[in-house]
Amino acid sequence: MTTLRIPSRFNGPPGSGNGGWVGGLLAEQRDDAVVQVILRSPPPLESPLRVVGGYLFDGDTLVAEAAAGEFTAAAPAPVERSVAVTATVERQGDSPFRKCFVCGDEREDGLGIQAGAVADGVVAAPWSPDDTLPIGTPLLWAAMDCPGGFTVPEIATRPAVLGSMTATVHALPAVGEQCVVVGELRGEQGRKGLTATAIYGEDGRLLGRSEQVWIRLS
């Protein structure tokens, strides 16, 4: 049995783990090239979590489950970094969870990925990994998380949380590499937002991609 712990640094909504980071931790436990992670309850911080098969438990509470996944469409197309930079400047201060490790603008130790609109239903942000964290699957899953949420209409005033994420990592960026993260809205079904994200390296190669389901809180 494997035990995982989510450090408090890697929060998403207040008091719980960032869904992308948690998904990446679970994906690391599997050999599948593409992994789908479904979040069943808010991932607690600083608690020992048991991995049993493809399931993540907090005591007897099911937190998440992971299995082999598959994509339904092509990855979002790349966006020029200069365009992504401009979009981020225009977006700043518009995060629904301002202390989120990935997108929060009130975090000095976060990723600072505030993806802004570059086209109808498409957002983008620049991102350069630094040397304060291991560059691996959890980090890339986290970086691909929130940009999907930023494509959901009115996300700042009608918050949504990640319900599921299907993702793969093709390659890892170097420290300081000037990457671009892209998010795309694929559709809406009631309270659900269907989205996709991708990370491109500074040479244009596709580093990773995901498809997601976001669920509005109300």
pLDDT of residue 218: 76
pLDDT of residue 197: 99
pLDDT of residue 93: 61
pLDDT of residue 105: 86
Give yes or no on whether 2-68 and 81-216 have one common fold: yes
Radius of gyration of the chain (CA): 16
pLDDT of residue 159: 87
Regions of the chain with pLDDT less than 50: none
- Given a contact cutoff of 8 angstroms between Cβ atoms, the answer to whether 103 and 113 are in contact is yes
What pTM was estimated for this model as a whole? 0.96
pLDDT of residue 148: 97
Q: What is the CATH number of domain 81-216?
A: 3.10.129.10
Q: Name the residue ranges covered by the structural domains of the chain.
A: 2-68, 81-216
SS (H, E, C) the chain: CEEECCCHHHECCCCEECHHHHHHHHHCCCCCCCEEEEECCCCECCCCEEEECCEEEECCEEEEEEEECCCCCCCCCCCCHHHHHHHHHHHCCCCCCCCCCCCCCCCCCCCCCCCEEEECCEEEEEECCCCCCCCCHHHHHHHCCHHHHCCCCCCCCCCEEEEEEEEEECCCCCCCCCEEEEEEEEEEECCEEEEEEEEECCCCCEEEEEEEEEEECC
Topology adopted by domain 2-68 = Thiol Ester Dehydrase; Chain A (3.10.129)
pLDDT of residue 116: 93
pLDDT of residue 158: 86
Residue 70, CA distances (Å) to 36, 99, 134 in order: 8, 31, 26
pLDDT of residue 92: 63
